[in-house]
Amino acid sequence: VQLQASGGGLVQAGGSLRLSCVVSGRTFSRCAMGWFRQAPGKEREFVAAISWNGGSTHYADSVKGRFTISRDNAKNTVYLQMNSLKPDDTAVYYCAADPFLEAYEFGSSQEYEYWGQGTQVTVSS
């Protein structure tokens, strides 16, 4: 299973970006998917996650109401729509996948088996 994240870039505060993560392999439709981010000098933190069928989504408090995670199993792709971006959202964003997660594990990076390479998001003030 390979994950390829894209869609990062430079945006002004208040702007929007949509990240995409394309997953190769036939297990995508059975995988819970997560987005994490890591800012310079900080630990990797949970951003959002979605269950295998899209029926359950979870968000970090810092992004609730601004970010939306979704998936298209026909395209093997998970998305992260980011609105009302703030300078504090600046980080490298990673997508992650795992076929065996329970909902209570969605926010734990150690539980995800597969990771993408990351895409840089920079929000200027």
pLDDT in tens, 41-92: 999 999 999 999 999 999 999 999 999 999 999 999 999 999 999 999 999 9
In angstroms, rounded to a whole number, what is the distance separating the alpha carbons of residues 33 and 43?
Answer: 19
Q: Per-residue confidence at 101, pLDDT binned at 50, 70, 90?
A: confident
Q: What percent of the chain has pLDDT over 70?
A: 100
Q: Per-residue confidence at 27, pLDDT binned at 50, 70, 90?
A: confident
User: pLDDT value at position 26?
Assistant: 73
Tokens of 56: 């359950």
Q: What rounded mean pLDDT belongs to the chain?
A: 95
In angstroms, rounded to a whole number, what is the distance separating the alpha carbons of residues 15 and 119?
Answer: 17
Q: Per-residue confidence at 11, pLDDT binned at 50, 70, 90?
A: very high
pLDDT at 110 over 80: yes
Phi, psi angles (nearest 5°) of residue 29: -65, -15
